[in-house]
């Protein structure tokens, strides 16, 4: 399960390919240094994204991956 406290980098490792979800929300800084030190909740706030909606989509994506 992906949580809002999880680092972006860790979510990308847990659910390979989930960068598509981040990109869908306009979060294009996945390769930047912040991805290794910023939580999903922090990134969502910085980008004006509802963290709960983002988490639902990330977890739905992860569930489809197996």
Report if pTM > 0.95: no
Closest C-alpha to 18, from 34, 3, 30: 30
Write out pLDDT tens, residues 12-66: 999 999 999 999 999 987 777 777 889 999 999 999 999 999 999 999 999 998 7
Domain 8-65 has CATH 1.10.10: no
């Amino acid at each position: 399960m992906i949580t809002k406290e999880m680092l972006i980098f860790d979510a990308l490792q847990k659910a390979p390919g989930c960068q598509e979800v981040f990109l869908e929300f306009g979060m294009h800084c996945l390769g930047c240094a912040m991805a290794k030190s910023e939580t999903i909740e922090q990134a969502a706030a910085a980008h004006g994204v509802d963290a709960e909606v983002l988490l639902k989509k990330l977890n739905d994506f992860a569930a489809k991956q197996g």
